[in-house]
Amino acid sequence: MGDHSKQFKRIGSWLGMGLFVTIILSLVVGVYFLTMAGAFELLGVQYHSVWGLIGFVAGYFLLGFILDLFFNPLAAILSARTESRSLPSFITIGLDVVSNGLSLSMMNLIMSSVVLTEVAMLILAVAIAFIEFLLDKDRHAKSSSYL
């Protein structure tokens, strides 16, 4: 009888942890999606359906993650080579703008259901780069630790 209750407790705790992680990830993805949808609405970006917008945001998220694998180390290397106090932050934000711009323009080329103008792309790339820089305490600390 004791073995069964231990197994049920173990299974229950794994299911509880899985449910907790699923809820947290759903909230993060939901906030990210609603933020992008709101920014698209403010900038007058046209999209044919909500599913097209979901595909665009998901593709942008995945493509941005892949590009960040290349741009983050590049920003760290370039920031380490500078003597200035503010230049590492500008390097990090500049490379983030380039990475976000590439992701947005690639998704704009791939998906025909979302139409981004160049101005909207630039505004989104800069805004997302600033938000990422402000929210990413690890990279912010690393870029200022080279001072």
- Cα atoms found within 13 Å of the Cα of residue 134, Cβ hemisphere only: 6
pLDDT digits (tens), the chain, 147 positions: 566 777 778 888 888 899 999 999 888 878 877 887 888 888 888 888 888 888 888 899 899 999 999 998 998 888 887 777 788 888 889 999 999 999 999 999 998 888 888 998 999 999 989 988 888 766 555 555 444
The predicted structure's pLDDT at residue 147: 40
Token couple for 10: 């173990």
Largest CA distance in the chain: 67
CA 55-109-42 angle, 5° bins? 65
The predicted structure's pLDDT at residue 139: 58
The predicted structure's pLDDT at residue 107: 93
Alpha-carbon torsion (46, 50, 52, 56), positive or negative:
positive
> What are the domain boundaries of the chain?
2-145
Token couple for 102: 């590439």
DSSP secondary structure code for residue 117 in this structure: -
Distance from the Cα of residue 74 to its chain's centroid: 18
